[in-house]
Amino acid sequence: AQSVTQPDIHITVSEGASLELRCNYSYGATPYLFWYVQSPGQGLQLLLKYFSGDTLVQGIKGFEAEFKRSQSSFNLRKPSVHWSDAAEYFCAVGAGGFKTIFGAGTRLFVKA
């Protein structure tokens, strides 16, 4: 069955430090992969998505993610975190048809 695992429930980084949020998926075919961000009390906003082609995907707000088929991973990165990046981040996989499976989320805290 398809699944998405975000092993870190929460992460704390210092402002200006680099960030990597982990995501592992289980899916039988080449997946559609996504990262979304959710600010408190808000809906989810799409950061970036991968369908095919270049495995390094650039998104909004300076984020990027790399698809590694051999590791079934799609980790999100940002070279320098800003305080406004504090939010919850969701990895998701398009599971075919009309469904998308979301991970449980990783809450990012940014300290000054």
Partner 1 sequence: SQTIHQWPATLVQPVGSPLSLECTVEGTSNPNLYWYRQAAGRGLQLLFYSVGIGQISSEVPQNLSASRPQDRQFILSSKKLLLSDSGFYLCAWSSFVGTDYGYTFGSGTRLTVV
Binding site for partner 1 (CB under 8 A): 32, 34, 36, 41-46, 49, 51, 90, 94, 98-100, 102-105
Instruction: Tell me how far, at minimum, the Cβ of 9 lies from partner 1, in Å.
Output: 8
Q: Which of 23, 27, 25, 26 is CA-nearest to residue 36?
A: 23
Q: Closer CB to partner 1, residue 35 or residue 110?
A: 35
The answer to whether 38 and 108 have CB atoms below 8 angstroms apart is no
Q: Which is nearer to partner 1, 17 or 46 (CB)?
A: 46
- Sequence-distant (6+) residues with CB within 8 A of 24 are 4, 5, 7, 71, 72, 73, 74
* Residue 74 or 90 with smaller CB distance to partner 1: 90
Closest distance of CB 18 from partner 1, Å: 25
